[in-house]
Every structure is written in structure tokens, then in C-alpha cells.
Chains A and B, each alone.
Chain A
Amino acid sequence: MFHNPSPYILFPIRQCGRYLLFSACLFLTFLPSQISFASGLRIVSLAPSVTEWIYALGLGHALVGVTEQCDFPAEAAKVAKTGSFMQTSLETVLMKKPTHVVAVDGIPVNLSKRLTDQGIRVHVLSVRRLNDFPEQIVKLGEELGVRAEASGWADKMRKAFVRQKTPSGKAQERGSVLLLISPKPIYVASPESWLSDLFALAGWKNALRNTRGTAAVGTEFQKISIEGALASGAKRWVLFADSTHADKKVSESVAQIFPNKKIPAGIELVVFPADVFTRPGPRLLSALAMLGEENK
């Protein structure tokens, strides 16, 4: 049949247009899944937040390797492990024959070079401030061939990342807050981090003053002394803890850092789930919603 050029001539031109339209619709409907299956996309994620993003972009089925810390969504736990967050086993990664490896900032240079030399595309998700997210997700989406999904997320985030307003229409101002990542030693989110930006949207200002020349420059999380924490003057201390911890136990652990093992009277301790807040993943939006609800 293909030897014969006649079918092109015999095909009525109007019917052809209709047929094309129909097939394009069909194609677009199954586009994301088709591309990933057709191109044999195989992704290894080297960080829990990256895993969450890949599931959010609808590429969960293409994930062939995750870290031991990847526990969200629940299916991620079933994917094969290629190492822990910072200690990746190159051999296990190669064993999965990935087409793409997605990591966060800090992937060792030699590791990324070796992967690239093997013909594997290495993509680094690099976010410092909240406003980096939409752009970075679009880049990730382009890299993985799911541009539409990614720009959808980017739009969603841009819409969500606006300063919350009071009922009277003014920008929310709620006071200063100290964001405790870990109580002992005291690690806090620095003012120049996406986590502080997130709280700023809900009207909470990071109590730490960011002075250039301290270790805070460019550091998302910084270690401070108890004296520095008290001197910040924050009335509200936010602790990020595993949601499984009972509140009482958590507040006890925070009390341990004070000299007399008691939380001073003027300080209010609030606990938020650590995995939702401290991972730069798609659940930032639910974190933002949680903050909004808490404000009401």
C-alpha cells in the first residue's frame, strides 16, 4: 500500500482535516503519560523534596530510584532506594539505568560529572528564596518533558505567594517569630530563606536580623546560641517536628535548651509538621494554607 502514492490523492481534504483534529485531541489527552512511556523516561531522585516534585508533576511512574528519606507520597516508599540523602551509592544509581538524575544543591562535582559522562542528564533543583520556586519548577518540567504540568504548578504558586490580607484589606502584621528547625543544637531558618519568606506571607517576620558578615549569608539554616535566640526578642517560637510526636514531649525537648529547663513565660511555642514545612517540595502550598488557617 505504501508503495502506491495514490492514498494521499484519494484522501478527501475535508475529511483529512477532521481526522487530524481528532487525533490531535487524542494525542493531547494522553500527552504526559505517552511521552514518558514513549521516551522511556527513567528518573532517579537524590532528595526527598525532589521526589515530591516529581510525583506532583505526574511522573511518579517514571521514578526508578529515590533516597531512604523519601516517604511522601506513600508510593515513594515503595520505589527502590539508591542511598541516603547525602550518601549516594553511584553503583545503585547506575544499576537503575536512569535517563535523568535530579538532585538539589550540593551534589558532589565528580559525581555529577561521572553521571553526565555516562550520558545521563543531571538536573539540579536550586532554590534559596520562595520566589525561586516557580522558575525552578518550570525548568525541571522542561527538562523532564512535562512543561504544561510544571507551568500549571508555577502559576498556582505565583498565585499563592501573595501577602495575606486582613479582612479590612491591610497587609497582615503578626509580629516576630523564631523558626526552630532543631532545638538541640539550635538550628533556625535564616531571614534569607524560603521558609522565612513563607512565614512572611502570613505576616510573621523572622526575628533574626540578617547582618552581612555572619554565617547567615546564603545559608538557609543557621546554628545560633541560646543567647542569640533569646536576644532576637521573638515572642513566638515555631518548632518543626515529626507529626508523630505528642505536643507535650516536644515542648519538653524545647524546654531543655533553656538554662532553668523551663520555657520562659513570654514565649509561645507552636509546633508544625517538619516534613510539610522544611522540605522545599510541592507541599509548601499546604504549609501556606495551614498558616492561613492558623491565622483565622
Chain B
Amino acid sequence: MKSVLFLALLLCLFLLLSFVSGPATPFSAWLNVVTLKGGLSGFISDHSSILELRVVHILLSCAVGFALATAGRTMQQLLQNPLADPHVTGLSAGSTSAVLLTLLFFPLLAQRLLFGWLPVLWVSAFIGAAGALSILNSLLFRLVRVWGAPALALAGLFLNASFSALLMVVFARLSPAGLTEVQSWTLGAIQPYGLNQALFLLPMLFIPSFYLMACERQLLLASFGQDFALTNGVNFIQLRGRILLCLMFLASAAVCAAGSIGFVGLLVPHLTRRWMLRCERPALRPIFNGLAGSFVLLCADLLSRTLTQPAELPVGVYTALLSFPFLVMVLLRHQKGAA
């Protein structure tokens, strides 16, 4: 309980830090606001569009971090595989490819559809995620059953490589200028949406996450294997179906919001694991995990917005950079655990 509160506090601190920092609002501007020199209303009306942009940006990065961490943890439990995560398994890649193909073939829809644009993107993302998952389910999970945990990473590698090759070929042939767009989606950049679009995306990210959190007990039983779950009253097949559906929702919404961001879903559950052992209440574990995901993505986002000012690199670049020290931490801990 204490740790969750501590993390929530830290998250709030970073939310505030993230909100006040940016090229448009230097420290002096905030100082003026605090000391009531410039007048608050004047400041707000001056910066309204920027503040809206920033609020949406921060909300989306928190929600995406939360969703990715939850999705990663759930997949790791369901598949009993420490390497499972929407990005590693190619779920995000499938979704991203579908979104990019929609952007390529129906660019005019973006101008025509004022409010329907994002749902169109989301539907294509969902179709892409469903496609990737059905390939995984029909071919590659069978491979995993034979070869064990590393095969999942191999299967994901194969899917990721095929999807990115498809994108490269299609875009190089049809729209070479669009390769910038490809880069921004495949590396994972938080998309510049307005408040209306965020209000569409946030429930899409949070509702499936909460559902997955509610399945915690069944998932824990399932983590001891199918037979164990079945004989302890969990309808394993149904549970798996529902969870895969949720994962598709999560992956497609996360991709719509921010392209395919890697490492958050993979590493955050491993990072939070040690703490979780100390946690008395099992119900708090998924919440802690989700909050930690938000925190990591928020940090990466803060870096991406401030480090290379005024240029803004995709946030996925920084999650990859941040993941390295975390990976070392996890490895060292495993070593210590073994010794």
C-alpha cells in the first residue's frame, strides 16, 4: 500500500514536471504566473492551445504506458513466457502496418472525416492486430509449444521483420516521401491529437486494462498451467479468448495513440516483480505495475520533449534507451537470485 502511494506521488510529481516543462513555457513564464505578475487568465488564454496539446500529450503517454505494462504482464502470465509483450510478439507491428497502409491509401479521409477519422484509424489498427494475433495463434504458438520460451521471441522477430519489410516495400514503391511517417509510427511517437480524440482513445486504453486487472486471480491460476486452471474452476479456453480480445483492443488503441512503442510492456513487469513479492495485497500488484508503466513512459516522453529541443524525437527511441539500464538491473537481480 505504501509503495503504491509512493509511486502515485512520484507519478504526480512527474506529471507536474512534464506539464510545466516545454519550449513554449520557460521557467520565467511560470514564475510570473505563480507570483501573479502577468495574471493567470492572460497566461491561460495566451497559451491555451499549447496547454491543451500538452495535457492531451501527457494523458495519452500515461494511458499508453499503463496499457502497455498491463498488456505485457498479462501476456507473460497467460503464455507463461517471460519474453511475451505486444511489441515482441509482433502484435503492435501488425497494428502499425495496418494504420500506415490506411494512411497511405486513404489520405483524403483525414481531411474529409472530422470526427470519424480516428475511429477509421482504430478499426484498421484493430484489424492489423487481429491479423497478427491469428498468425501467431495458428502457426507460431504451436512452434512455441514445441520449442519453449525462446521460440516466442523468434516468432515475434519473424512477424516484426515481415511487417516492416512489407511497409518498406510498399512505401518505397508508392510514396517515398511517406517514409518519415513510417518512421514516426514504427519507432513510436505520441500522435498530436486534440482533446476530442483523446476522449475517444482514453477509454479504449483504460477499460480493457481494468478488465485485465480484474482477471488477476484467474490469470494467476492460469500461470500454473492449463490443467491446474481447469481443475480449479477457471474456464481456461474462454479466459484465453477474452484476454486475447482485450489485448487486441489494447494494442490497437495504444498503436493509434502512439505507434508501436517497445520495451515498456516487456520490462516494466520484470522491474516491478521484486517489489510485488513484498506487497501484502495481491490486488494492488497490477495497479502498481500499470502505474510503473505510466511512469516509465512519462519519463521517456519528458526526455523526448526536452532533450533535443526544438526537434522532437519519437518517444520509442527513449524507451529503448531507458530500457538498457533497466535490463542490466533485471539481469543483475536474476544473477543475485541464482547465487
Which A residues have a C-beta under 8 Å from some C-beta of B? 68, 81-84, 86-92, 94-95, 104-114, 116-118, 215, 217-220
Q: Are A95 and B24 in contact, CB atoms less than 8 angstroms apart?
A: yes
For residue B180, CB closer than 8 A to chain A, the reply is yes
Please report whether the interface of chain B is mostly helix, strand, loop or mixed according to DSSP: helix
Min Cβ gap B284→A in Å is: 35
Chain B positions 279-324 with a Cβ under 8 Å from a chain A Cβ: 305, 308-313
A203 to B173, CA, bound (A): 29
A219 to B174, CA, bound (A): 9
Q: Are A88 and B312 in contact, CB atoms less than 8 angstroms apart?
A: yes
Binary contact readout B219-256 vs A (1 if CB under 8 angstroms, 0 otherwise):
00000000000000000000000000000000000000
Q: Are B310 and A92 in contact, CB atoms less than 8 angstroms apart?
A: yes
Q: Are B49 and A94 in contact, CB atoms less than 8 angstroms apart?
A: yes
Q: Are A106 and B192 in contact, CB atoms less than 8 angstroms apart?
A: no
What's the tally of chain B residues with a CB closer than 8 Å to chain A?
A: 35
Q: Are A218 and B176 in contact, CB atoms less than 8 angstroms apart?
A: yes
A212 to B172, CA, bound (A): 13
Q: Which residue of B lies closest to A93 (CB)?
A: B310
Q: Which residues of A contact B192 (CB under 8 A)?
A: 90, 110-111, 114
A223 to B254, CA, bound (A): 34
Q: Are A106 and B179 in contact, CB atoms less than 8 angstroms apart?
A: yes
Of listed A104, A105, A220, residue having the most chain B CB within 10 A: A105
Are A220 and B24 also in contact (CB < 8 A) when A89-B305, A94-B53, A113-B117 are?
no
- Some 19 contacts from A to B, beta carbons below 8 A apart, are A68-B311, A81-B310, A89-B311, A91-B22, A91-B54, A92-B310, A94-B50, A104-B177, A106-B179, A106-B180, A108-B180, A109-B103, A110-B192, A110-B193, A112-B110, A113-B110, A113-B111, A218-B173, A219-B172
Q: Which residues of B contact A108 (CB under 8 A)?
A: 180-181, 184
Q: Which residues of B contact A109 (CB under 8 A)?
A: 103, 107, 110, 181
Query: Given A92, A104, A106, A111, which contacts B23 in the complex, CB threshold below 8 Å?
Result: A92
Q: Which residues of B contact A118 (CB under 8 A)?
A: 49
Q: Which residues of A contact B49 (CB under 8 A)?
A: 94, 118
Are A91 and B305 also in contact (CB < 8 A) when A108-B180, A108-B181, A118-B49 are?
yes
Query: Given B23, B107, B180, which contacts A89 in the complex, CB threshold below 8 Å?
Result: B23
A211 to B302, CA, bound (A): 47
Binary contact readout B20-36 vs A (1 if CB under 8 angstroms, 0 otherwise):
00111000000000000
Are A86 and B111 also in contact (CB < 8 A) when A68-B311, A94-B24, A95-B23 are?
no
Binary contact readout B194-231 vs A (1 if CB under 8 angstroms, 0 otherwise):
10000000000000000000000000000000000000
Query: Given B50, B117, B178, B312, which contacts A106 in the complex, CB threshold below 8 Å?
Result: B178
Q: Which residues of B contact A87 (CB under 8 A)?
A: 308, 311-313
Q: Which residues of A contact B311 (CB under 8 A)?
A: 68, 83-84, 87-89
Q: Are B305 and A219 in contact, CB atoms less than 8 angstroms apart?
A: no
Q: Which residues of B contact A104 (CB under 8 A)?
A: 177
A91 to B176, CA, bound (A): 26
Q: Which residues of B contact A106 (CB under 8 A)?
A: 177-181
Q: Which residue of B lies closest to A120 (CB)?
A: B49
Q: Which residues of A contact B107 (CB under 8 A)?
A: 109
Q: Are B193 and A114 in contact, CB atoms less than 8 angstroms apart?
A: yes
Query: Given B103, B177, B313, which contacts A105 in the complex, CB threshold below 8 Å?
Result: B177
Are A91 and B193 also in contact (CB < 8 A) when A106-B177, A109-B103 are?
no
Chain B positions 36-60 with a Cβ under 8 Å from a chain A Cβ: 49-50, 53-54
Q: Are A83 and B193 in contact, CB atoms less than 8 angstroms apart?
A: no
Q: Which residues of B contact A84 (CB under 8 A)?
A: 311
A247 to B63, CA, bound (A): 54
Q: Which residues of B contact A111 (CB under 8 A)?
A: 192
Q: Which residue of A lies closest to B181 (CB)?
A: A108
Q: Which residues of A contact B164 (CB under 8 A)?
A: none
A271 to B23, CA, bound (A): 40
Q: Which residues of A contact B22 (CB under 8 A)?
A: 91
For residue B272, CB closer than 8 A to chain A, the reply is no
Chain B positions 157-198 with a Cβ under 8 Å from a chain A Cβ: 172-181, 183-184, 191-194
Q: Which residues of A contact B177 (CB under 8 A)?
A: 104-106
Query: Given B54, B103, B180, which contacts A86 in the complex, CB threshold below 8 Å?
Result: B180
Q: Which residues of A contact B312 (CB under 8 A)?
A: 83, 87-91
Of listed A87, A105, A111, residue having the most chain B CB within 10 A: A87
A109 to B101, CA, bound (A): 12
A118 to B193, CA, bound (A): 11
Q: Which residue of A lies closest to B106 (CB)?
A: A109
Are A215 and B172 also in contact (CB < 8 A) when A91-B24, A92-B310 are?
yes
A92 to B23, CA, bound (A): 6
Q: Are A82 and B310 in contact, CB atoms less than 8 angstroms apart?
A: yes
Chain B positions 1-36 with a Cβ under 8 Å from a chain A Cβ: 22-24
Min Cβ gap A172→B in Å is: 30
Q: Are A110 and B191 in contact, CB atoms less than 8 angstroms apart?
A: yes
Q: Are B194 and A114 in contact, CB atoms less than 8 angstroms apart?
A: yes
Q: Which residues of B contact A68 (CB under 8 A)?
A: 310-311
Q: Which residues of A contact B23 (CB under 8 A)?
A: 89, 91-92, 95
A88 to B181, CA, bound (A): 12
Q: Which residues of A contact B181 (CB under 8 A)?
A: 106, 108-109
Task: Given A91-B305, A104-B177, A219-B176, output 14 extra A-B contacts at Cβ < 8 Å.
Answer: A82-B310, A83-B310, A83-B311, A86-B180, A87-B311, A89-B305, A89-B312, A92-B309, A94-B49, A109-B107, A112-B110, A113-B117, A215-B172, A218-B175
Of listed A68, A112, A113, A118, residue having the most chain B CB within 10 A: A113
Are A116 and B111 also in contact (CB < 8 A) when A90-B53, A94-B24, A111-B192 are?
yes
